[in-house]
Amino acid sequence: MTLTVKALTPKTGLKDGQPDRRQRFIIQVPFNEMIEWGAVGAAYRDPRLPYPSSLTLIALRENEVLLSNSEDEENCFYLYRLPRAWARYLTFRKRYRGRRVALSCVPMGFVLSVGILQCLQRAICSLAGLPISREIRPDMPLPDMRRIDETTGARQSSYWSYIDNFDEFLLEVVDEADTDGDIFQKFNKHLNPEKLSDTTSFGELQKKIFTEKSRLGIPLNSDKRLIQATSFGTLGAFVDGNSRNVGVKVEKRQVIMIVIMFILFGQKAFSYHEMASVIGILNNCFLFQRPLFSILHGTYHWVQHFTGGHYIPKNVFSELFFACVCVQLAECQLDKRFDLNIHSSDASLHGGAFGSAPTSLGVLERLLHHCDARGTRVRVAGPSSVSKSSRSLLKVASETERGDLTFRMGAQWKWKYGAQPIVILEGLAFLTQLKALTRNIGIHSSRIFHIFDAESALGALCKGRSGSFRLNRTCRQVGALVLCSQITCYYAFTESDSMPMDEASREFRSDLSDKEWKRDFSHHFTP
């Protein structure tokens, strides 16, 4: 197999305080059987990369601030050596002095490069003594950053490592006096240039990773180093310390609005790559307000078969216009208060029901770590698709409260629809409960916690959209309600035998009319 140089791209950023004008090779590696089935391992093909929307699971209290310590490698690609056996798969087409030339390092453009580098970074973190229990990754619950370290007496920080970036996150308590003005002024002293090379000001995990990479001879970019930063960017997300929200930068969202308006109302033809880039940027923005994904249902199908031109179907035109209008809402408030209830809804082929159980702030903060932030359960792959910790969420809550959770049913009804897939009915049951909740203005501008026993409906709502038109219509209605009421929904899975509303959804009483509310029903959950 032979390689070709696909492109030369300039680096962006600074080098010793000056613009970095070095060029980077983008290598086109043809897809082959080694990549698909070879001895590369599943970890290279699915490296469990950290996800920026995981930051939306962080709940700041009134006197807390989220800080970041960051390190970045220089020239991560082409830095790490590959095994000699890989040379036969990374050989250039042209010969040099009659001999074949092959890459001996990890190149840009290789489909497995991301997985290889991610595995290397996790190996370095392990050598540095960073515990995996404190890593933020999609296949594990969010670490508890309020847990006190027994040795230091300080709060434990968490981290993630993404290819060449290392970010440490910690929750710091600020003085009540600082909350009247700039609550972050106590941390500004760490951000001056002379402090950036002083390891005594580094965070706990940052110091370990800095020491280990320095020992290994891995070059680090001091211009991108952060120490106790209150406003910072990571993985395309920007955490604004002053407004205490996370999302894509406002300036970038404004640019994409202008571009979409130019596409919709301009006369210039556009290519597939231009359209795909616009949709990609919109997707990046919607990560922090996932209900917005439901807007682009027809657009995704249209772009897949788009070959270029200036004609836009009517339904795609409407979707892009609404996406343009709503893109400024694509952010998450980290200090939003909790609704102190655990909500639950369930559906059967005959009827549906929903209810709630009062609980405490500590329980909700603990359960929030187990929520699904990206919709990983859309594709159900057996028991392994369910988080180990999510199987007993109600048991965790009950143990924290040291007693049983009492669920009071809000409504019970018989379906008036004809034959419907159960996943559609599960979505409608949740939508019914959400409509009832949003009628109460006191619940607006809050976080609500909801449990499901249907993985498909849970995955679609966590993802924000569905490929099914009927289920995506429900997702759009949910999105309209949460955006108008400024509610943030968090979802988690529990088994059917632990679902409080399971029995009520299967029960239909002949003396109950279709619209009658059943308010005198209580269900006591005992794990």
Please write the tens of the pLDDT for every residue from 469-519. Answer: 999 999 999 999 999 999 999 988 877 777 777 777 776 544 444 444 343
Q: What are the pLDDT digits (tens) for 13-47?
A: 555 556 666 666 777 766 655 555 555 555 566 67
Q: Are residues 298 and 385 in the same domain?
A: no
| Residue 398 binned pLDDT confidence (cut-offs 50, 70, 90) | low
**Both 345 and 325 in a single domain?**
no
Which is more confidently placed, 286 or 49? Answer: 286
The residue-averaged pLDDT of 66-91 equals 85
Does 62 share its domain with 166?
yes
Q: Is residue 118 part of a domain?
A: yes
pLDDT at 313 over 80: yes
Does residue 185 sit in the same domain as residue 105?
Answer: yes
322 and 391 both lie in a single domain: no
148-164 average pLDDT score: 87
Tell me 138's DSSP state. T
Q: Are residues 204 and 344 in the same domain?
A: no
DSSP 197-212: T-GGGS-HHHHHHHHH
Sign of CA dihedral 268, 274, 277, 283: positive
Q: What's the pLDDT at 378?
A: 40
- Locate all alpha helices (DSSP H) within 407-454, ordered by sequence: 422-438
Q: Are residues 105 and 190 in the same domain?
A: yes
Which segments of 261-336 are extended strands (E)?
A: 331-333
The whole-number pLDDT of residue 524 equals 33
Domain annotation covers residue 25: yes
- Per-residue pLDDT at 191 exceeds 50: no
Q: Residue 251: inside a domain, yes or no?
A: no
Provide the pLDDT confidence category of residue 247 given band limits of 50, 70 and 90: very high
Residues 6+ apart with CB under 8 A from 125: 135, 159, 161, 166, 209
240 and 306 belong to one structural domain = no
Q: Answer whether residue 22 is part of any domain.
A: yes
pLDDT band, residue 266 (cuts 50/70/90):
confident
| β partners of residue 406 | 524
Q: What letter does residue 452 receive in the DSSP assignment?
A: E
Q: How many domains does the chain have?
A: 3
| 16 lies in the same domain as 104 | yes
In this predicted structure, the answer to whether residue 209 has a pLDDT above a threshold of 90 is yes
Residue 415 and residue 438 share a domain: yes
Over 50: is that where the pLDDT of 377 sits? no
Question: Is residue 265, in this structure, part of any structural domain at all?
Answer: no
**Full domain range(s) for residue 241:** 2-246
Helix axes 393-401, 361-368, angle to 10 degrees: 150
Q: Which amino acid is at 420?
A: Q
- Give the span between the Cα atoms of 349 and 355, in whole angstroms: 18
Answer with the one of 246, 279, 310 that is the final residue of a domain.
246
Determine, yes or no, domain membership for 103. yes
pLDDT digits (tens, 9 = 90+) for 415-443: 876 678 888 999 999 999 999 999 999 99
pLDDT at 71: 92
Structure confidence at residue 174 (pLDDT): 80
What pTM value is reported for the model? 0.82
Which domain CATH number covers 517? 3.30.420.10
Q: Where are the alpha helices (DSSP H) in 305-421?
A: 314-326, 361-368, 393-401
Last residue in a domain, options 299, 314, 332? 332
Q: CB of 27 within 8 A of CB of 109?
A: yes
Nearest to 249 by CA among 259, 239, 262, 258: 239
Size of the chain, expressed as the number of residues it contains = 527
**411 lies in the same domain as 482:** yes
pLDDT tier for residue 526 given thresholds of 50, 70 and 90: very low
Provide the 3-class DSSP secondary structure of residue 96: strand
Residue 395 has pLDDT above 70, yes or no: no
Same domain, 297 and 419: no
Is 236 inside a domain boundary? Answer: yes
Answer for the pair 289, 336: CB distance below 8 angstroms, yes or no. no
Please indicate, yes or no, if residue 101 is contained in any of the structural domains.
yes
